[in-house]
Chains A and B, each alone.
Chain A
């Protein structure tokens, strides 16, 4: 599908993109910016979909990329997911959204709150109504009132029966551990994702127990920066619904204790087989349970098959992609007894004739740790001013690992 602003660009422009795409073996390796004789293509790749923007003029590429991602975010917000089928199902809305988001080639309304006022998100009732009335537009007749206000992120006159504010403090560990178990690199990327459903114009203040940990932060535009600088307190009028309040980064200078350890023994031997042993255990989890632990391992090409038996969970091996997945599940923190720790043992069958792999595969570990933020950041209190009612406030801590960001070299 395509949409043109200003001038129409021939579809043949895509050929350049497909050409570049076909050159790359991996779909992630396509260069984000491609220069063609007259236009410049900027593409993003998410959810196995490519979004390509065509430019004719000099413009900061980051700006375009960010905008493409924002479009994707909006689609996800509207349709719940952004896949080929969901886009095809909602062709009309997609075009309407694009119309609103980009005006004459310039990004216009990108806040989902405002867009939702302009264009109603799809639901079953609306579909039925559209069918009956034959009215096919979802564009509302009123202009969003807050678009011109000084707080563009919040709608006017929000009303809820239950006033709730939820704060999810999510931290993602990004680490590389070498074969001896020493941490080479460990960083934390944290977010506070909020779900605020409060009536009126609440003014929230959020303070941390130990704000000095946050030295590298980026805020949602609603946060009053001055307040943060002077008092280390987040003071803001929240947008309605879900949003990311701040994201912060704790760099490798800080010492971070990693709550998991993996003992491994992987050997490839001449004679078309190898040994594979893994043991996983918790470490310094502060009494919390490691949940949904998954270990993935991309085996070298020469591996034919693996016959492995786990003591806990389930392991599968994909012989085509050479991908070994071991889904362990929960690991109780109090099991100090090594015999009860989950382990995976077995043999690796190598294809004959090929040289044995030089290096051992890299293990990707994923886990979540609830009720704790690994960096030690805690929310002290959340206060609300400006409205009379007493809201329900909830804070949740999650430590997790983004796919492929926690690696153990073996």
Chain B
């Protein structure tokens, strides 16, 4: 209803249609709801007739509707009536008139009258129908029809002399006061046409004057006065008699009226000016009354409110504000995008590659480009100060720390080298890029430079140096490269993963400073670095086990070192099957003690918080400062991407710390090798509802670069799937298969390149259609972003 309300007030003409259907559906609910909805429909239909016209039949009245509902329905039908549907509506009305509910029948007659007055084509038919109704036995129906006829006649009196005469003859039979009054009024008004009958009627009325109702008395007086004006000779005495009767009436209104008319007509000497115009006054042509809806319009109240329903102002009612004449400030529509990470990335890179400036300056420039400039800078400076303090005061300890940090850095950088290695090799394969080794050397030289610089300087300066070296290298390199596009484009889009090593380390430092201060545990830092040999081993393992020559691992933060009081936990998906249970996704947790001198004791898995089944890790008794330990847990994500959350306890804390692990859709899938035939079989089985398709537009240059290896990389970035060996030899068709870890339902991916239209068509067939949809989206994004 609220929606209907909104639509009513705001929607343009074309869209208001939608409201009708749902409102009509509401009509099937309880009686009370019906009443209010109908009332609202009355109101809406008044303004927008067209929207309810197709549903006319829904407003037909059932005999057991409550009286209010009946009336509203009638009202709606009347409102909706137009030349095209009037015949059906009138037929419907005719059955209503016969209904045993007399009150309702009377309302129907009124409604017929309204239809007749609004649609001129059917006026005649309506009148005839009404006249026929007058011969019915039931009092109320007859009376109502007389009243309605009177009103109709007033609209167009000249044509209906016969009807008038007919009505006049009925005056004796009709007993309902309002109907009698109407007849009398008619006689008085059109007395010139029925000049013979009129005095006779007056005579009869005069006889029964004393017993009549007030309203009838008034009309008798009116009639008398009019007749006196028209035909004074015949009626003089009668009029006098009636006036005399009225003079002693108990009702003062009647007495007043009699006195006024007497003064006007008979005692002309008292007010000569008026009496001269008596005829004009009494027989002035009256404007035809407009037959109004029986239900008053509540225009002044907002649709659907309490005030609207009861027709009076309720406490606390507020009118809708008018439409503002001036457009509101457009700035409120601008949503502030808070994405400090990418902007940081981009800006720092920009500055690193384009300009050669000293570290401090550069840092400033970075900060200037940043969103929150001042605070962050301050914080950072504070951080630095702290570090400086540390270095100055605590000698040996910090040495250690620095060393360790250095080591970390080294690891990271070498790691990064590895990472870039992989990518560049890929690029090389795809684009015949000859340079990477050279670059590699450069980078490694950069990092070795870093390694050598084991001085007690501030690391940042160090980094900056290597950074600038690196950027210099970059610049040197670019002209040499045979295909320039490949390398920058890959760095741009996969920037999160293949940022040149040293720059990366700088970034990380910065980020640590940034992220550390505002304790955002939810902020997942995308630090896709493979750290240690352990990991490499895993990589090897997965290499061998899945016979894939690519391993793709991202690492996510789940416990920030600030919130964890020195304990940092990261997680990653090694994409190997979990030993204990095949239904679980293997997740590796990396616990790192980042404190300087504090050991962390007894880290243990406490319990799973969500209803997701989690296989916890063995208790870690001791985590010395600066040491990382990798453990494995299994999570049964149930083929859903809902995050798994669980609690851990450490350091004898009684309050558990909760961790949340988000799973990407691609990690829910494990590789499942299928041969060509199997693939086709399963594909045939998973048609129809289990199939979703999409296509990505790429430009021509890019599509030519797509070959098996590039595509496989891209797929592996998103999901853990294995390619299906093709026997057809079609170089534009690539197929991958996998299965969901929890339910082992197949996920089949088909990639079809369309060289002529430069499109990539993606098709996924799977039982798990929800999952497949998400996967498709992700793959699509990958294709779009890389190309």
A interface residues with partner B (beta carbon < 8 Å) = 24, 26, 28-29, 31-35, 40, 42-46, 55-62, 65-66, 69, 156-157, 174, 176, 178, 184-185, 187, 189, 200-201, 203, 205, 207, 215-216, 218, 231, 233, 235, 247, 249, 251-253, 298, 300-301, 355, 357-359, 361-362, 364, 383, 385-386, 388, 404-405, 407, 409
A35 engages B310 (CB within 8 Å): yes
Which residues of chain A come closer than 8 Å to B136, judged between CB atoms?
358
Which residues of chain A come closer than 8 Å to B318, judged between CB atoms?
58
B161 contacts the other chain (Cβ, under 8 Å)? no
A33 engages B36 (CB within 8 Å): yes
B689 contacts the other chain (Cβ, under 8 Å)? yes
B36 engages A65 (CB within 8 Å): yes
Given A216-B21, A300-B100: A44 in contact with B55 (beta carbons within 8 A): no
What are some 16 contacts across the A-B interface (CB < 8 A)?
A33-B309, A43-B32, A57-B314, A57-B315, A58-B307, A58-B314, A58-B316, A62-B36, A65-B32, A174-B28, A251-B21, A300-B100, A301-B100, A362-B63, A364-B63, A388-B743
Which residues of chain B come closer than 8 Å to A252, judged between CB atoms?
55, 57-58
Q: How far is the CA of A300 from the CA of B101 in the complex (A)?
A: 10
Q: How far is the CA of A163 from the CA of B28 in the complex (A)?
A: 33
B31 engages A59 (CB within 8 Å): no
The 5 nearest A-B residue pairs measured at CB: A359-B98, A32-B32, A57-B316, A252-B57, A404-B64
> What's the nearest-Cβ distance from chain A to residue B510, in Å?
36
Which residues of chain B come closer than 8 Å to A301, judged between CB atoms?
100
The size of the chain B interface, using a CB distance under 8 A, is: 55
Given A207-B689, A385-B768: A176 in contact with B30 (beta carbons within 8 A): no
B577 contacts the other chain (Cβ, under 8 Å)? no
Q: Which of A61, A69, A201 contacts B611 (CB 8 A)?
A: A201
Q: How far is the CA of A186 from the CA of B318 in the complex (A)?
A: 41
The listed residue with most A CB atoms (<10 A of its CB), out of B1, B55, B66, is: B66
B649 contacts the other chain (Cβ, under 8 Å)? no
Given A58-B316, A156-B611, A176-B60: A31 in contact with B68 (beta carbons within 8 A): yes
B35 engages A184 (CB within 8 Å): no
B30 engages A405 (CB within 8 Å): no
B138 contacts the other chain (Cβ, under 8 Å)? yes
Which residues of chain A come closer than 8 Å to B611, judged between CB atoms?
156-157, 200-201
> What's the nearest-Cβ distance from chain B to residue A113, in Å?
16
Q: Known pairs A55-B314, A61-B306, A357-B100. 13 more at Cβ < 8 A?
A: A26-B67, A33-B309, A42-B32, A60-B305, A62-B1, A62-B33, A65-B30, A157-B611, A189-B28, A251-B24, A251-B55, A253-B54, A386-B638
The listed residue with most A CB atoms (<10 A of its CB), out of B22, B30, B35, B58, is: B30
Q: Which of B25, B305, B640 contacts A386 (CB 8 A)?
A: B640
B2 contacts the other chain (Cβ, under 8 Å)? yes
Q: How far is the CA of A405 from the CA of B28 in the complex (A)?
A: 10
Query: Which residues of B from 308 to 343 have beta carbons under 8 Å from A?
Result: 309-310, 312, 314-318
Q: How far is the CA of A357 from the CA of B138 in the complex (A)?
A: 10
Q: Which of A31, A60, A207, A404 contacts B304 (CB 8 A)?
A: A60
Query: Which residues of B from 217 to 255 have beta carbons under 8 Å from A?
Result: none
Given A62-B36, A386-B640: A29 in contact with B67 (beta carbons within 8 A): yes
Which residues of chain A come closer than 8 Å to B28, judged between CB atoms?
174, 189, 249
B62 contacts the other chain (Cβ, under 8 Å)? yes
Closest chain A residue to B64 by CB distance? Answer: A404
Which residues of chain B come closer than 8 Å to A58, judged between CB atoms?
305-307, 314-318
Q: How far is the CA of A66 from the CA of B32 in the complex (A)?
A: 9
A26 engages B98 (CB within 8 Å): no
> What's the nearest-Cβ distance from chain B to residue A177, in Å?
11
The listed residue with most B CB atoms (<10 A of its CB), out of A178, A233, A252, is: A252
Query: Which residues of B from 429 to 483 have beta carbons under 8 Å from A?
Result: none
> What's the nearest-Cβ distance from chain A to residue B607, in Å?
14
B55 engages A33 (CB within 8 Å): no
Q: Which of A26, A31, A55, A383 contacts B35 (CB 8 A)?
A: A31
A355 engages B137 (CB within 8 Å): yes
A404 engages B62 (CB within 8 Å): yes
Closest chain B residue to A185 by CB distance? Answer: B57
B770 contacts the other chain (Cβ, under 8 Å)? yes
Q: How far is the CA of A185 from the CA of B77 in the complex (A)?
A: 14
Q: How far is the CA of A18 from the CA of B201 in the complex (A)?
A: 47
Given A249-B28, A404-B64: A386 in contact with B306 (beta carbons within 8 A): no
Q: How far is the CA of A33 from the CA of B40 in the complex (A)?
A: 14
Q: How far is the CA of A404 from the CA of B631 in the complex (A)?
A: 69
Q: How far is the CA of A47 from the CA of B214 in the complex (A)?
A: 45
Closest chain B residue to A25 by CB distance? Answer: B67
B639 contacts the other chain (Cβ, under 8 Å)? yes
B66 engages A29 (CB within 8 Å): yes
Q: Which of B37, B63, B310 contacts A407 (CB 8 A)?
A: B63
The listed residue with most B CB atoms (<10 A of its CB), out of A383, A386, A409, is: A386
Q: Which of A44, A56, A409 contacts B30 (CB 8 A)?
A: A44
Query: Which residues of B from 1 to 38 have beta carbons under 8 Å from A?
Result: 1-2, 21-22, 24-25, 28, 30-33, 35-37
> What's the nearest-Cβ distance from chain A to residue B395, in Å?
52
Q: How far is the CA of A334 from the CA of B786 in the complex (A)?
A: 69
Q: How far is the CA of A17 from the CA of B292 in the complex (A)?
A: 30
> What's the nearest-Cβ distance from chain B to residue A114, in Å?
17
B300 contacts the other chain (Cβ, under 8 Å)? no
Q: How far is the CA of A56 from the CA of B770 in the complex (A)?
A: 48
A29 engages B68 (CB within 8 Å): yes
A33 engages B310 (CB within 8 Å): yes
Q: How far is the CA of A247 from the CA of B317 in the complex (A)?
A: 33
Q: How far is the CA of A61 from the CA of B314 in the complex (A)?
A: 12
Which residues of chain B come closer than 8 Å to A59, judged between CB atoms?
306
Q: How far is the CA of A386 from the CA of B22 in the complex (A)?
A: 33
Given A31-B68, A184-B92: A176 in contact with B314 (beta carbons within 8 A): no
Which residues of chain B come closer than 8 Å to A55, judged between CB atoms?
306, 314
A405 engages B304 (CB within 8 Å): no
> What's the nearest-Cβ distance from chain A to residue B609, in Å?
11
B99 contacts the other chain (Cβ, under 8 Å)? yes
Closest chain A residue to B88 by CB distance? Answer: A184
The listed residue with most B CB atoms (<10 A of its CB), out of A28, A388, A409, is: A28
Q: How far is the CA of A156 from the CA of B310 in the complex (A)?
A: 44
Which residues of chain B come closer than 8 Å to A359, judged between CB atoms?
98-100
Which residues of chain B come closer than 8 Å to A300, judged between CB atoms?
100
B159 contacts the other chain (Cβ, under 8 Å)? no
Closest chain A residue to B301 by CB distance? Answer: A58
Q: How far is the CA of A205 from the CA of B309 in the complex (A)?
A: 41
Which residues of chain A come closer than 8 Å to B25, judged between CB atoms?
216, 218, 247, 249
Closest chain B residue to A205 by CB distance? Answer: B769
A385 engages B689 (CB within 8 Å): no
Closest chain B residue to A184 by CB distance? Answer: B60
Q: How far is the CA of A400 from the CA of B252 in the complex (A)?
A: 62
Q: How far is the CA of A62 from the CA of B305 in the complex (A)?
A: 9
B36 engages A358 (CB within 8 Å): no
A176 engages B67 (CB within 8 Å): no
Closest chain A residue to B32 by CB distance? Answer: A32
Which residues of chain A come closer than 8 Å to B33, judged between CB atoms?
62, 65-66, 69
Q: How far is the CA of A215 from the CA of B20 in the complex (A)?
A: 13
Which residues of chain A come closer than 8 Å to B67, judged between CB atoms?
24, 26, 29
Which residues of chain B come closer than 8 Å to A409, judged between CB atoms?
95
The listed residue with most A CB atoms (<10 A of its CB), out of B32, B68, B689, is: B32
Which residues of chain B come closer than 8 Å to A185, judged between CB atoms?
57-58, 60
Which residues of chain B come closer than 8 Å to A386, judged between CB atoms?
638-640
Q: Which of A35, A187, A357 contacts B312 (CB 8 A)?
A: A35
Closest chain B residue to A357 by CB distance? Answer: B100
A60 engages B1 (CB within 8 Å): yes
> What's the nearest-Cβ distance from chain A to residue B552, in Å?
27
Q: How far is the CA of A51 from the CA of B98 in the complex (A)?
A: 34
> What's the nearest-Cβ distance from chain A to residue B167, in Å?
21
Which residues of chain A come closer than 8 Å to B310, judged between CB atoms?
33-35, 40
Which residues of chain B come closer than 8 Å to A32, judged between CB atoms?
31-32, 35-36
The listed residue with most B CB atoms (<10 A of its CB), out of A157, A249, A364, is: A249
Closest chain B residue to A388 by CB distance? Answer: B743
